[in-house]
Structure 1
Amino acid sequence: MSSFRPIQSVVNGVPTSDGAGVKLTRVLTQHLQRRLDPYLMLDAFGSDQPDDYIAGFPDHPHRGFETITYMIAGRMLHRDSAGHEGLLENGGVQWMTAGRGVIHSEIPQQEEGVMEGFQLWLNLPSHDKLCAPWYRDFKASELPRLTTPEGVSVTVIAGESHGVIGAVQRDGTQPLYLDVHLPAGASFEQALPAEHNAFVYVYRGAVDVAGTTLPAQRMGILQNGPEFDGVRVQAGDQPARVLLIAGQPLNEPIVQYGPFVMNTPEQIQQAFNDYRAGRLA
């Protein structure tokens, strides 16, 4: 790598709630969907107050995209209308392809303690939006990892990093999803295709990216350009933890209404009709 991407803009998350009142921060909001195509949403949730999370996310539908839930702390039970069930625990990942439609719930399995994690929405190409639903739970021990000579620990959830193949691959969107833990003063470099959109989210400490400091709870959107072939992230005088996420844009129309993401308003209306008629169950 010879030319690292700088930060184009820094994004503050928007405090909100979802499900049955779960408090969270929406980092990647709807107005950024085109800029960060193929990603549709990133939520960060974290609290040691049970009232902030205990009600969880009761039954709700999805169609047309994938959800990736990454738990840092806590336990969440998943059930869906396709017959899948799994317990997501510390360090684990739940990858769900909604495809043509699924109704699922995500309910905390604890009454006290810290609940912390992230949910990322990844769009599906138009030809895959009505594919069969798919689901996989990955325990922390099943996720590929690497450690650099500087002591940087990297969990490779999707894509590839330094020759390590991630838990999930997708041809259409080519997602890269890394959880990078940097000791104080350490740096990490990752190759990125020039045409891919990419961003960094800091959830512990602070990092420097090409001269821009990103503090905790901030997202840095990486600049695009044919002259760039990667990104370099460096921790300051304290350890830092970041998510590095990138993907190949689909360059297709994005029409979202609530839990449905399709390509046309007519397809959204059909999703609602199918949901009301019980055809997502």
Structure 2
Amino acid sequence: MPELPEVEALRGFLAERLDGRGVARVQPVAVSVLKTYDPPPDALEGLAFTGVFRHGKFLDLRLAGGESGELHLVVHLARAGWLRWQDRLPAAPPRPGRGPLALRLRLAGPEGGAGPDGFDLTEAGTQKRLAVYVVRDPREVPGIARLGPDPLSGELSREAFGALLRGERRRIKGLLRDQGVLAGIGNAYSDEILHAARMSPFRLAADLGEEETTALYEAMGTTLREAVDRSRGVAAGRLKAEKRSGLRVHGRTGEPCPVCGDTVREVSFSDSSLQYCPTCQTGGRPLADRRMSRLLK
């Protein structure tokens, strides 16, 4: 799943290519992708891009011009969605089918009319969660309206972070992933942050002392900033590989921990899994591989 660093890199990638460009056609292919109907997607046609923004894991493409005024094309890539830039899109219109293509946006050419370039939104797998919204204000998107503070924004101080944890009787792994608490962190980077903080994913947030809270806050900022720096300037098609190359424990079950050399372990749930290093994070004790697991004694 694309998380804060990858979505931020996509934001920068698109900002360089879309600023001032007009929309020639918007062609939804998958019925499930559109989550709004007013304004319709063809209301974007003829408008020009005026900015690209990020809200947590949401991409916000702002357009303005004509009678429609300002509109926003908001995209959430979910678990298996992706944006594929195309310097030369196929001339034939896309056909609905079983393929991964969910929506195609073709940019206008310099002389007006349809140009050759644009982007496709695609989604692999059978669970269709990729979401596209056409709205007048991004806060109309429910997922954006409920977002917590961005971990890399100036609004989240160490004191504000501590206040978010205070009294929370939830495991810290789940709390980091809760978009209503912190915007943009998912399964992969929560594993990476906890490994950097040398903290068990099953610690209760309310039990963290001041020093542990500070260590977690600093690990969160460092991990995310380093990931953003690695992703900056990388072409959209290579971002997934770049993400994988920078991960220390997530997705590396059975491999040696790059810090201590212990074997990276996994806890599997019904629809996801987490990875951790026992030596770095749990005092050498493995975690039981079930949803309600506790440290084995």
Q: Same fold by TM-score, threshold 0.5 exceeded?
A: no
**TM-score calculated relative to the size of structure 1:** 0.26
Question: Greater share of strand residues, 1 or 2?
Answer: 1
RCO (CA 8 Å, sep 6+): is it higher in 1 or 2? 1
**TM-score calculated relative to the size of structure 2:** 0.25
Question: Greater share of helix residues, 1 or 2?
Answer: 2
Work out which of the two has the higher radius of gyration on C-alpha atoms and give 1 or 2: 2
